[in-house]
Amino acid sequence: MELDVMKKKNRKFMLFWIALIGITGFFMVITKYDPIKSFTSIPKAIVWTLTNFYPNSNSIEKLPSILSKLKETIFLSIAATTTASAFALLFGLFGSKTTKINNLLGVLSRTIASIFRNIPIVAWAMILLFSFGQNALTGYFALFFVTFGFLTRAFIETIDEASYESVEALRATGATYFQIVFQGVIPSSIPQIISWVLFMTETNIRSSTLVGILTGTGVGFVFNIYYKSMDYNSASLVVISIILTVFAIEITSNYIRRVIL
Amino acid sequence: MELLNINRLSKEYKGGTKALSNVNFSVNEGEFVSIIGPSGAGKSTLLRCINKMIDATDGEIVFDGVSVTDINRKDLRKVRTKIGMIFQHYNLVDRLSVIENVLHGRLGYKTTLEGIIGKYTEKEKKKAFDLLKKLGLKDQAYKRCDQLSGGQKQRVGIARALIQNPKLVLCDEPIASLDPNASKVIMDHLKNINVEMGITSIFNLHQVDVAMKYSDRIIGVNSGEIIYDGTPDNLSEEKIHEIYGSEAGELITE
């Protein structure tokens, strides 16, 4: 009996792998994917990177202008994240089961958040380009919308997880809605809330580089110009400075997380 | 004098689960009442209907001369300030200090703004410290609640309920998560509150022996219906088995 169960399980496992390999093969044929060529081109890519994609003395001279653009990108993403998180907190409170005011508002805020979250940031940037043109405001709104959608979702779960029991106790003492929020919900969930905001700031620095290429602002724009004018040395310096910035932000936010938790 | 009257109370959850059906009883001032019964019998629902944390489907609850069942928000707030509540999982805000958690018991008396910024009067703070001293937590006042043991947390919960100046204390399984030692400390404190301060107490308890020892009166609930209401002395073995739906020799208390 038990042996049968094991055999059945093994057969299922086999079927799963056969199916997986079948699907992979099928789509490789459709997309004309050549695995041998893709593997052999890896060394070529590495060689190209090593011979072209490094900063030289010429590109170092451009560092001040890169850094000033990088600063613009960082500030833009911080501004978008902080303002979006304020709105997300409000919608998170409405959307959470623990702190909902009524069901209608709950469903509404979850739906809005879901729509904003599920439209990719590049799509947002392209849509907003029509209304705001090529400037920082477009990038700001694109980042704002996606961050708002994502953080609302994250905050709803944080609030539900962290504060159900204390909310119940405060309700029983006769506390009003906003007293419960400020005395119970926020103190219980503030570490996770800050953690999510820091995470989004990191993510947005990366995303705003990408958005910058489209909107013609910030460090993404600079990268695009160098890259298209085949100044790969300067382009590599941009990439390196972005990587270092993201590292620095990550280290800082890890430190902050350790202190507040 | 009658403090609480429950009349034909019924509660049906969405999906048709009947938690309470036709529950009737009244509680006099100063009484110590324990509600016993198996898990899922509707004990928690019954307790939460009293301060309208759960809306009853049918029937009426009158507390201190006020009908709780159809009450407006402002009056409900006033009623809740007069009813302290103590929970199995203490339900403290773990990241705040002990004293802040105790003072939360005053929120029902404050304006929204005062409550948001946590502005308490000197008198309230003094009262909070007095209560902590009485419950043996004087040295813990500035500690964060997540550093306390279960027994200490429950004493903070008691202090939070008492600072409300309640007429009634509802205790939902107050000792179910505590070791026997801490359980006795908590039950003794709660009995003290009842005897010395004259605060009416209604308990949900899992431990029949504890209920027998401390209560003036026991209410036995099974499947949402009251099947025993009387003194602990009159509660026979057969009746206990009827409450828990068990056969002789099956219960751990025997």
Q: For residue range A191-206, what is the model confidence (pLDDT) as tens digits?
A: 899 989 989 988 998 8
Phi-psi region of B8 (alpha: psi -120 to 50; beta: other; left: phi over 0): left
The answer to whether residues B77 and B96 belong to one domain is no
Find the radius of gyration of the CA atoms of chain A.
24
pLDDT exceeds 80 at position A2: no
According to DSSP, residue B144 is labeled: B
Mind telling me how many Å the CA of B101 is from chain A's nearest CA? 9
8 A C-beta contact, residue A123 and residue A138: no
Q: Could you report the per-residue pLDDT of A37-88, keeping only the tens digit for each?
A: 888 899 989 998 888 888 888 888 888 999 999 999 999 999 999 999 999 9
Token reading at A223:
């990268």
What is the amino acid identity at position A69? K
The answer to whether residues B40 and B98 belong to one domain is no
Res B254: pLDDT = 58
Instruction: For residue A185, give the chain B residue with the closest CA.
Output: B93
All residues at 6 or more sequence positions from B54 whose CB lies less than 8 Å from its CB, including other chains: B11, B45, B48
Confidence of residue B1 (pLDDT cuts 50, 70, 90): confident
Token reading at A204:
């947005």
Mind telling me how many Å the CA of B213 is from chain A's nearest CA? 28
All residues at 6 or more sequence positions from B9 whose CB lies less than 8 Å from its CB, including other chains: B20, B22, B23, B24, B46, B49, B56, B58, B59, B60, B61
The answer to whether residues B122 and B143 belong to one domain is yes
- Choose from A101, A183, A190, A194 for mutation: most chain B CBs within 10 A: A183
Chain A residues whose CB is inside 8 A of the B80 CB are 171-174
Confidence of residue A116 (pLDDT cuts 50, 70, 90): very high
Chain A residues whose CB is inside 8 A of the B87 CB are 165, 168-169
The answer to whether residues B219 and B170 belong to one domain is yes
For residue A14, how many other CB atoms are within 10 A of its CB?
10
The answer to whether residues B201 and B76 belong to one domain is yes
Over residues A171-188, the mean pLDDT reads 94
- Contact call for B91 and A165, based on CB within 8 A: yes
Task: Kindly tell me the burial class for residue A214, based on how many C-beta atoms sit within 10 Å of its own C-beta (0-12, 13-18, 19 or more).
Answer: buried
Q: Could you report the per-residue pLDDT of B78-108, keeping only the tens digit for each?
A: 999 999 999 999 999 999 999 999 999 999 9
All residues at 6 or more sequence positions from B214 whose CB lies less than 8 Å from its CB, including other chains: B32, B34, B187, B190, B191, B203
CATH of residue B179's domain is: 3.40.50.300
**Among candidate residues B123, B138, B165, the one where a domain is terminated:** B165
The answer to whether residues B120 and B190 belong to one domain is no
The answer to whether residues B124 and B231 belong to one domain is no
Token reading at A52:
């072209």
Instruction: For residue B75, give the chain A residue with the closest CA.
Output: A174
How far CA A244 is from CA of A66, A128, A225, A247, in Å, comes to 13, 30, 21, 5
Res B115: pLDDT = 94
Provide the CA B232 distance to its chain's centre, in angstroms.
19
All residues at 6 or more sequence positions from A240 whose CB lies less than 8 Å from its CB, including other chains: A55
Instruction: For residue A187, give the chain B residue with the closest CA.
Output: B95
pLDDT exceeds 90 at position B49: yes
| Nearest C-alpha neighbor of B188 from the set B167, B174, B176, B200 | B174
Dihedral, CA atoms, A67, A73, A78, A79, nearest 10 degrees? Answer: 120
Chain A residues whose CB is inside 8 A of the B85 CB are 169, 172-173
- How far is residue A39's CA from residue A48's CA, in Å, rounded to a whole number? 15
Domain range for residue B132? 91-165
Mind telling me how many Å the CA of A200 is from chain B's nearest CA? 24
The answer to whether residues B66 and B177 belong to one domain is yes
The larger pLDDT score, comparing residue A241 to residue B251, is at A241
Res A82: pLDDT = 95
Over residues A233-249, the mean pLDDT reads 90
The answer to whether residues B143 and B207 belong to one domain is no
- How far is residue A68's CA from residue B218's CA, in Å, rounded to a whole number? 76
| Nearest C-alpha neighbor of B118 from the set B93, B151, B139, B154 | B93
The answer to whether residues B8 and B74 belong to one domain is yes
Find the radius of gyration of the CA atoms of chain B.
18
Token reading at A190:
């503030």
Helix ranges (H only) for A53-102 are 57-60, 63-95
Over residues A182-193, the mean pLDDT reads 93
Instruction: Look at residue B207 and give its three-state secondary structure.
Output: coil
Helix ranges (H only) for chain B are 43-50, 73-81, 98-103, 112-117, 122-134, 150-162, 180-196, 208-214, 237-244
Over residues B143-165, the mean pLDDT reads 95
Instruction: Give chain B's domain count.
Output: 2
**Residues pairing with B217 in the sheet:** B33
- How far is residue B30's CA from residue B193's CA, in Å, rounded to a whole number? 10
Q: Could you report the per-residue pLDDT of A132-156, keeping only the tens digit for each?
A: 888 888 999 999 999 999 999 999 9
Dihedral, CA atoms, A194, A197, A198, A202, nearest 10 degrees? Answer: 170
Chain A residues whose CB is inside 8 A of the B110 CB are 179
Helix axes A103-118, A136-172, angle to 10 degrees: 150
Confidence of residue B245 (pLDDT cuts 50, 70, 90): confident
Confidence of residue A36 (pLDDT cuts 50, 70, 90): confident
**Kind and range of the H or E element at B171?**
strand B168-172
The answer to whether residues B99 and B200 belong to one domain is no
B11 HSE (CA, 13 A, CB side):
26
Task: Kindly tell me the burial class for residue B108, based on how many C-beta atoms sit within 10 Å of its own C-beta (0-12, 13-18, 19 or more).
Answer: buried
**Among candidate residues B135, B165, B195, the one where a domain is terminated:** B165
Sheet containing strand B83-86, edge to edge, reads: B83-86, B168-172, B200-205, B32-36, B217-222, B225-230
- How far is residue B96's CA from residue A109's CA, in Å, rounded to a whole number? 29
**Among candidate residues B146, B165, B184, the one where a domain is terminated:** B165
Confidence of residue A209 (pLDDT cuts 50, 70, 90): confident
Buried b (16+ CB within 10 A) or exposed e, A74-89: bebbbebbeebbeebb
- Contact call for A172 and B85, based on CB within 8 A: yes
**Kind and range of the H or E element at A50?**
helix A35-52
The answer to whether residues B239 and B183 belong to one domain is yes
